[in-house]
């Protein structure tokens, strides 16, 4: 059994069975057996399943939010307003696409082009946005006519159990399978299994490389949503105070545990010190506290290992010469895996904290000389997941956004869109999620000539 620990109290709040390769084989066999019948169901039938999942998520939203807060420490208010509402919106987007003729064959000359399911999909999901990432894979995969085996993070298994109850109650036997366990055991077994036709993985870039390598042995399709080191560029005509405040909030969201967080804040060199001071002031409003309290803005890291990893990066930043403007490596509370929200100034592009994904509440403020320099710095990591641009001139901001080698860019804090494609360039992964773009990942194309 694997113990589930509340990161705010360090208490064991549950256990989950540690899956084995034999469990994976049984789940895949069931999914393979269920695929022929499920793949032949009508679009209307599958749309009914999606709507049933949406209804189930809404009915159990409070339970889902509380479970995520207990298991991975995200503040309850964030759980309620983001961790539950985004997955519902993602599923609603899938239902909308199904109703818009997505699976109607397309005529191209003397050919009919059909979208058909890939087969058995292995969905391997992370702990930081557990429900969102599970829904973003499971719902479109099922909607496309695939059967699914889900391997959630062992750090947030209760959330997966709740979703499994909802999905299993809406689908025929064998169509959806859940196997708990660790990545090196269950994840590897799924990626290697000859009965699995596709792996959709969200997690670290290091783990994504391993999934790709293992899956390549059977030439299965692989979709990866991996790490990020996203930059927020504040142009010289922007409202600096507003931009810094929003950038700090973005960097610290979900306790700093978001792959798309703007962890690098790029500002004009002549306003760098002002930006650092503003960021430090904003960080002071993020006081680590009980995530179950609706007033709490930032909770603990998900585990002791994650807390220690983040603290190690903070120490590394100090060692390499970055200026500590707020926070530091000291624990803010005597109990729980908390990290003090931290802001660094005078960060240069070659520093470790400017290159590697920290996955904690740590913001690096970086000066640039001109627009070209800002773009160069923003594009100077191995990642390319997200980013932001602030400017009083939206056309100028758009020109800069187009130059960023990243999958999505927000201009002046535009709202998150669960129907637009989400995914990364370079070592932030491949493939896209959400809306019709997410459905594309789980479909094969067949041309029939007449």
Q: Any idea which residues carry the catalytic annotation?
A: 225
Question: How do 120-124 and 11-16 pair as beta strands?
Answer: unpaired
CA-CA distance, 292 to 69, in Å (whole number)? 7
3-state helix, strand, coil in the chain (%, to 5): 45, 20, 35
User: Residue holding tokens 């196997």?
Assistant: 179
Answer whether 102's CB lies under 8 Å from 426's CB.
Answer: no
Phi/psi at 36 (nearest 5 deg)?
-55, -45
- Can you spell out the DSSP letters for 181-215? --IIIIIHHHHH-TT--EEEEES-HHHHHHHHHHH
CA atoms within 13 A on the CB side of 163: 32
Neighbour-count burial of 195, counting CB atoms closer than 10 A to its CB (0-12 exposed, 13-18 middle, 19+ buried):
buried
Gyration radius from the chain CA atoms: 22
Cα Dmax for the chain: 72
User: 148: which strand partners?
Assistant: 121, 176
Q: How many angstroms separate the CA atoms of 57 and 345, rounded?
A: 42
């Amino acid at each position: 059994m694997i113990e589930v620990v509340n990161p705010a109290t360090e208490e064991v709040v549950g256990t989950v069975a540690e899956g084995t390769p034999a469990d994976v084989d049984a789940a895949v066999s069931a999914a393979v057996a269920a695929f022929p019948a499920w793949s032949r169901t009508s679009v209307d039938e599958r749309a009914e399943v999606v709507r049933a999942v949406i209804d189930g998520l809404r009915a159990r939203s409070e339970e889902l939010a509380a479970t995520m807060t207990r298991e991975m420490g995200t503040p309850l208010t964030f759980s309620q307003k983001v961790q539950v509402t985004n997955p519902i919106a993602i599923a609603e987007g899938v239902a909308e696409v199904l109703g818009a003729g997505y699976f109607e064959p397309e005529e191209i000359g003397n050919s009919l082009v059909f979208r058909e399911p890939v087969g058995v999909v292995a969905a391997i999901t992370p702990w930081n946005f557990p429900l969102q990432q599970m829904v973003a894979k499971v719902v479109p995969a099922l909607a496309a006519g695939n059967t699914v085996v889900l391997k959630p993070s062992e750090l947030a298994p209760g959330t997966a159990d709740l979703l499994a109850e909802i999905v299993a109650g809406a689908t025929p036997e064998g169509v959806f399978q859940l196997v708990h366990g660790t990545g090196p055991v269950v994840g590897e077994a799924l990626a290697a299994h000859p009965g699995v036709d596709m792996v959709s993985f969200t997690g670290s870039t290091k783990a994504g490389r391993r999934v790709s390598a293992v899956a390549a042995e059977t030439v299965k399709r692989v979709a990866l949503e991996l790490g990020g080191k996203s930059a927020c560029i504040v142009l010289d005509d922007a409202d600096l105070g507003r931009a810094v405040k929003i950038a700090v909030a973005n960097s610290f969201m979900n306790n700093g545990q978001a792959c798309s967080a703007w962890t690098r804040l790029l500002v004009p060199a002549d306003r760098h010190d002002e930006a650092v001071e503003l960021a430090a002031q904003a960080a002071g409003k993020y006081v680590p506290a009980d995530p179950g309290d609706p007033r709490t803005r930032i909770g603990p890291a998900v585990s002791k290992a994650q807390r220690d990893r983040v603290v190690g990066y903070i120490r590394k930043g100090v060692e390499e010469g970055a200026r500590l403007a707020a926070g530091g490596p000291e624990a803010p509370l005597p109990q729980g895996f908390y990290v003090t929200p931290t802001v660094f100034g005078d960060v240069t592009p070659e520093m470790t904290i400017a290159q590697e994904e920290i996955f904690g509440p740590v913001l690096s403020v970086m000066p640039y000389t001109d627009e070209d320099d800002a773009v160069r710095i923003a594009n100077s990591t191995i990642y390319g997941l997200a980013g932001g641009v602030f400017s009083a001139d939206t056309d100028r901001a758009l020109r800069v956004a187009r130059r960023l080698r990243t999958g999505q860019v927000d201009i002046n804090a535009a709202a998150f869109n669960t129907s637009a494609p989400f995914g990364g360039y370079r070592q932030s992964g491949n493939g896209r999620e959400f809306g019709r773009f997410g459905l594309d990942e789980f479909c094969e194309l067949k041309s029939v000539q007449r």
